[in-house]
Protein backbone atom coordinates (compact mmCIF):
# COMPACT_ATOMS: atom_id res chain seq x y z
CA UNK A 1 0.00 0.00 0.00
CA UNK A 2 2.89 2.37 0.72
CA UNK A 3 4.14 2.16 -2.88
CA UNK A 4 0.68 2.84 -4.22
CA UNK A 5 0.44 5.96 -2.06
CA UNK A 6 3.86 7.20 -3.18
CA UNK A 7 3.09 6.67 -6.83
CA UNK A 8 -0.32 8.25 -6.31
CA UNK A 9 1.13 11.51 -4.96
CA UNK A 10 3.85 11.49 -7.62
CA UNK A 11 1.16 11.22 -10.30
CA UNK A 12 -0.72 14.13 -8.73
CA UNK A 13 2.47 16.21 -8.69
CA UNK A 14 3.02 15.48 -12.38
CA UNK A 15 -0.59 16.28 -13.27
CA UNK A 16 -0.47 19.49 -11.23
CA UNK A 17 2.68 20.63 -13.04
CA UNK A 18 1.06 19.80 -16.39
CA UNK A 19 -1.97 21.87 -15.34
CA UNK A 20 0.28 24.87 -14.70
CA UNK A 21 1.71 24.68 -18.23
CA UNK A 22 -1.47 23.90 -20.17
CA UNK A 23 -3.71 26.33 -18.32
CA UNK A 24 -1.12 29.08 -18.54
CA UNK A 25 -1.48 29.90 -14.86
CA UNK A 26 2.15 29.64 -13.82
CA UNK A 27 3.15 32.54 -11.61
CA UNK A 28 6.45 34.28 -11.05
CA UNK A 29 8.52 32.71 -8.30
CA UNK A 30 8.14 34.70 -5.10
CA UNK A 31 11.41 36.02 -3.60
CA UNK A 32 10.50 34.29 -0.33
CA UNK A 33 10.60 30.94 -2.16
CA UNK A 34 13.96 31.69 -3.74
CA UNK A 35 15.44 32.62 -0.38
CA UNK A 36 14.31 29.40 1.34
CA UNK A 37 14.36 26.89 -1.51
CA UNK A 38 10.65 26.13 -1.23
CA UNK A 39 7.61 26.40 -3.53
CA UNK A 40 4.59 28.40 -2.36
CA UNK A 41 3.97 30.58 -5.43
CA UNK A 42 2.07 28.39 -7.89
CA UNK A 43 -1.64 27.68 -8.12
CA UNK A 44 -2.93 24.20 -7.37
CA UNK A 45 -5.22 22.35 -9.77
CA UNK A 46 -8.71 22.86 -8.23
CA UNK A 47 -9.49 19.17 -8.81
CA UNK A 48 -6.85 18.19 -6.27
CA UNK A 49 -8.31 20.41 -3.55
CA UNK A 50 -11.68 18.63 -3.45
CA UNK A 51 -12.31 16.37 -0.46
CA UNK A 52 -15.65 14.81 -1.32
CA UNK A 53 -17.40 16.61 1.54
CA UNK A 54 -19.81 18.87 -0.33
CA UNK A 55 -20.39 21.28 2.58
CA UNK A 56 -16.67 21.87 3.00
CA UNK A 57 -15.73 21.84 -0.69
CA UNK A 58 -18.32 24.45 -1.66
CA UNK A 59 -16.97 26.83 1.01
CA UNK A 60 -13.29 26.43 0.10
CA UNK A 61 -11.34 29.23 -1.61
CA UNK A 62 -8.59 28.85 -4.24
CA UNK A 63 -5.01 28.72 -2.94
CA UNK A 64 -3.02 31.97 -2.96
CA UNK A 65 0.15 32.57 -0.93
CA UNK A 66 0.11 35.42 1.62
CA UNK A 67 2.69 38.21 1.32
CA UNK A 68 5.42 37.81 3.98
CA UNK A 69 5.93 41.51 4.78
CA UNK A 70 2.21 41.89 5.55
CA UNK A 71 2.28 39.08 8.10
CA UNK A 72 5.55 40.33 9.60
CA UNK A 73 3.98 43.75 10.15
CA UNK A 74 0.99 42.13 11.87
CA UNK A 75 3.16 40.02 14.16
CA UNK A 76 5.21 43.07 15.10
CA UNK A 77 2.01 44.96 15.92
CA UNK A 78 0.85 42.16 18.23
CA UNK A 79 4.28 41.28 19.65
CA UNK A 80 5.34 37.64 19.89
CA UNK A 81 6.45 35.97 23.12
CA UNK A 82 7.88 32.47 23.45
CA UNK A 83 4.79 31.06 25.18
CA UNK A 84 2.56 31.85 22.18
CA UNK A 85 1.19 29.41 19.58
CA UNK A 86 0.65 30.32 15.90
CA UNK A 87 -2.21 28.55 14.10
CA UNK A 88 -2.72 29.01 10.35
CA UNK A 89 -6.25 28.06 9.25
CA UNK A 90 -6.20 26.79 5.69
CA UNK A 91 -2.41 26.83 5.68
CA UNK A 92 -1.98 25.93 2.01
CA UNK A 93 1.65 25.24 1.17
CA UNK A 94 2.81 26.78 4.44
CA UNK A 95 4.16 30.23 3.59
CA UNK A 96 2.65 32.03 6.64
CA UNK A 97 3.97 29.27 8.93
CA UNK A 98 7.47 29.80 7.58
CA UNK A 99 7.22 33.56 8.08
CA UNK A 100 5.97 33.00 11.64
CA UNK A 101 8.92 30.63 12.23
CA UNK A 102 11.15 33.72 12.15
CA UNK A 103 9.58 34.67 15.50
CA UNK A 104 9.86 32.96 18.93
CA UNK A 105 6.56 31.07 18.86
CA UNK A 106 6.35 28.02 21.08
CA UNK A 107 4.78 26.04 18.25
CA UNK A 108 3.40 26.62 14.75
CA UNK A 109 0.44 24.61 13.47
CA UNK A 110 -1.00 24.64 9.97
CA UNK A 111 -4.44 23.10 9.36
CA UNK A 112 -5.38 22.25 5.78
CA UNK A 113 -8.45 20.50 4.39
CA UNK A 114 -6.80 19.16 1.21
CA UNK A 115 -4.65 16.09 1.80
CA UNK A 116 -2.70 16.84 -1.37
CA UNK A 117 -1.88 20.40 -0.30
CA UNK A 118 -0.89 19.07 3.14
CA UNK A 119 1.65 16.92 1.33
CA UNK A 120 3.01 19.98 -0.50
CA UNK A 121 3.29 21.88 2.80
CA UNK A 122 5.15 19.00 4.46
CA UNK A 123 7.51 18.83 1.49
CA UNK A 124 8.26 22.51 2.04
CA UNK A 125 8.85 21.98 5.77
CA UNK A 126 11.45 19.35 4.89
CA UNK A 127 13.25 21.82 2.60
CA UNK A 128 13.44 24.65 5.13
CA UNK A 129 16.80 25.73 6.51
CA UNK A 130 17.45 24.14 9.90
CA UNK A 131 17.23 27.52 11.64
CA UNK A 132 13.53 27.66 10.75
CA UNK A 133 12.55 24.01 10.62
CA UNK A 134 13.28 22.61 14.07
CA UNK A 135 10.41 20.64 15.60
CA UNK A 136 8.00 23.51 16.08
CA UNK A 137 6.12 23.24 12.78
CA UNK A 138 3.33 20.71 12.25
CA UNK A 139 0.87 20.29 9.38
CA UNK A 140 -2.54 18.89 10.31
CA UNK A 141 -4.97 17.46 7.77
CA UNK A 142 -8.47 18.48 8.83
CA UNK A 143 -11.29 21.01 9.00
CA UNK A 144 -9.75 24.39 9.87
CA UNK A 145 -13.11 25.84 10.94
CA UNK A 146 -12.96 23.88 14.21
CA UNK A 147 -9.29 24.07 15.21
CA UNK A 148 -7.95 22.50 18.39
CA UNK A 149 -6.35 25.34 20.34
CA UNK A 150 -4.01 25.03 23.31
CA UNK A 151 -4.39 27.11 26.45
CA UNK A 152 -2.47 30.36 26.78
CA UNK A 153 -1.98 32.90 24.01
CA UNK A 154 -2.79 31.86 20.44
CA UNK A 155 -2.38 33.85 17.23
CA UNK A 156 -4.90 32.60 14.65
CA UNK A 157 -4.11 33.50 11.04
CA UNK A 158 -6.59 33.26 8.19
CA UNK A 159 -6.11 34.49 4.65
CA UNK A 160 -9.72 34.27 3.46
CA UNK A 161 -9.46 30.45 3.54
CA UNK A 162 -13.18 29.75 3.25
CA UNK A 163 -16.55 31.36 2.65
CA UNK A 164 -19.11 32.72 5.11
CA UNK A 165 -20.70 29.47 6.38
CA UNK A 166 -17.33 28.21 7.65
CA UNK A 167 -16.29 31.64 8.96
CA UNK A 168 -19.47 31.66 11.04
CA UNK A 169 -18.72 28.13 12.20
CA UNK A 170 -15.19 29.21 13.14
CA UNK A 171 -16.39 32.25 15.10
CA UNK A 172 -18.81 30.09 17.08
CA UNK A 173 -16.09 27.54 17.77
CA UNK A 174 -13.65 30.18 19.02
CA UNK A 175 -16.36 31.75 21.16
CA UNK A 176 -17.03 28.36 22.76
CA UNK A 177 -13.32 27.79 23.41
CA UNK A 178 -13.05 31.17 25.12
CA UNK A 179 -16.08 30.39 27.28
CA UNK A 180 -14.59 27.06 28.37
CA UNK A 181 -11.03 28.30 28.96
CA UNK A 182 -10.76 31.63 30.85
CA UNK A 183 -6.96 31.53 30.45
CA UNK A 184 -7.14 31.49 26.65
CA UNK A 185 -6.17 34.69 24.79
CA UNK A 186 -6.83 34.74 21.05
CA UNK A 187 -5.46 37.13 18.46
CA UNK A 188 -6.97 36.86 14.97
CA UNK A 189 -5.02 38.14 11.98
CA UNK A 190 -7.68 38.30 9.29
CA UNK A 191 -5.86 38.90 6.01
CA UNK A 192 -8.23 39.93 3.19
CA UNK A 193 -11.14 40.13 5.68
CA UNK A 194 -14.05 39.28 3.39
CA UNK A 195 -16.32 38.23 6.27
CA UNK A 196 -15.12 40.83 8.77
CA UNK A 197 -18.70 41.51 9.89
CA UNK A 198 -18.89 38.04 11.44
CA UNK A 199 -16.20 38.97 13.97
CA UNK A 200 -17.37 42.58 14.26
CA UNK A 201 -20.74 41.26 15.46
CA UNK A 202 -19.26 38.78 17.95
CA UNK A 203 -19.02 40.25 21.49
CA UNK A 204 -16.10 37.96 22.35
CA UNK A 205 -13.84 39.81 19.90
CA UNK A 206 -12.91 43.44 19.31
CA UNK A 207 -10.87 45.14 16.63
CA UNK A 208 -7.29 46.05 17.52
CA UNK A 209 -5.98 47.14 14.10
CA UNK A 210 -7.33 47.71 10.58
CA UNK A 211 -5.37 49.04 7.63
CA UNK A 212 -3.76 48.43 4.28
CA UNK A 213 -0.19 47.13 4.48
CA UNK A 214 2.23 47.75 1.61
CA UNK A 215 4.38 45.06 0.02
CA UNK A 216 8.10 45.45 -0.38
CA UNK A 217 9.23 46.43 -3.88
CA UNK A 218 10.34 42.90 -4.81
CA UNK A 219 7.13 41.39 -3.41
CA UNK A 220 5.07 43.80 -5.49
CA UNK A 221 6.99 42.70 -8.58
CA UNK A 222 5.98 39.09 -7.89
CA UNK A 223 2.36 39.83 -6.96
CA UNK A 224 0.12 37.48 -9.01
CA UNK A 225 -2.74 40.01 -9.07
CA UNK A 226 -0.67 43.14 -9.62
CA UNK A 227 -1.60 44.72 -6.29
CA UNK A 228 1.00 46.42 -4.10
CA UNK A 229 -0.77 46.15 -0.72
CA UNK A 230 -3.27 43.98 1.12
CA UNK A 231 -5.86 44.73 3.78
CA UNK A 232 -5.82 43.24 7.27
CA UNK A 233 -7.95 43.44 10.40
CA UNK A 234 -6.51 42.20 13.70
CA UNK A 235 -8.97 41.15 16.40
CA UNK A 236 -8.32 40.32 20.03
CA UNK A 237 -10.45 38.31 22.39
CA UNK A 238 -12.38 40.52 24.81
CA UNK A 239 -11.03 39.11 28.07
CA UNK A 240 -8.35 39.79 30.65
CA UNK A 241 -5.36 41.63 29.23
CA UNK A 242 -7.35 43.27 26.43
CA UNK A 243 -5.44 46.22 24.93
CA UNK A 244 -6.89 49.54 23.78
CA UNK A 245 -7.52 49.57 20.04
CA UNK A 246 -4.93 51.25 17.86
CA UNK A 247 -5.90 54.42 15.94
CA UNK A 248 -7.88 53.58 12.81
CA UNK A 249 -9.02 50.16 14.03
CA UNK A 250 -12.61 51.18 13.26
CA UNK A 251 -11.92 51.92 9.57
CA UNK A 252 -14.65 50.92 7.13
CA UNK A 253 -14.13 47.88 4.92
CA UNK A 254 -15.39 47.58 1.36
CA UNK A 255 -16.01 44.24 -0.30
CA UNK A 256 -14.42 44.53 -3.74
CA UNK A 257 -15.20 41.00 -4.99
CA UNK A 258 -17.93 38.95 -3.27
CA UNK A 259 -16.37 36.06 -1.30
CA UNK A 260 -12.91 36.95 -2.63
CA UNK A 261 -11.78 40.52 -1.97
CA UNK A 262 -11.94 43.11 0.83
CA UNK A 263 -10.31 46.52 1.12
CA UNK A 264 -9.84 48.56 4.29
CA UNK A 265 -10.73 52.14 3.44
CA UNK A 266 -8.26 54.91 4.29
CA UNK A 267 -9.43 57.65 6.66
Q: Following DSSP, what letter does each residue of 18-54 receive, concatenated?
A: HHHHHHT-PPPPPHHHHHHT---SS---GGGT--S-H
What is the model's pLDDT at position 4?
Answer: 35
How is the chain split into domains, by residue range?
68-264
Give yes or no for a contact between 230 and 189, defined as CB atoms under 8 angstroms apart.
no
Which neighbouring-strand residues pair with 155?
86, 187
Q: Which residues of the chain have pLDDT under 70?
A: 1-27, 48-63
pTM (2 d.p.): 0.88
Distant-in-sequence, close-in-space partners of 40: CB < 8 Å, separation ≥ 6: 30, 32, 33, 65, 92, 93, 94, 95, 98, 124
68-264 is a CATH 3.40.50.150 domain: yes
Amino acid sequence: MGKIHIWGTAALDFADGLYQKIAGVRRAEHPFDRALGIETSQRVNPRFVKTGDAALDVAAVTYVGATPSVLRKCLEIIGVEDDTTFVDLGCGKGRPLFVAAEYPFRSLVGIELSEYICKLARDNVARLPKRLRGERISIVHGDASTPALPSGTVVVFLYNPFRRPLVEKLASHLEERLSNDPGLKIWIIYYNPVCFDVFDANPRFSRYFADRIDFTEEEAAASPCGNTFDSVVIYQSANEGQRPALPGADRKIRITIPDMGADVQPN
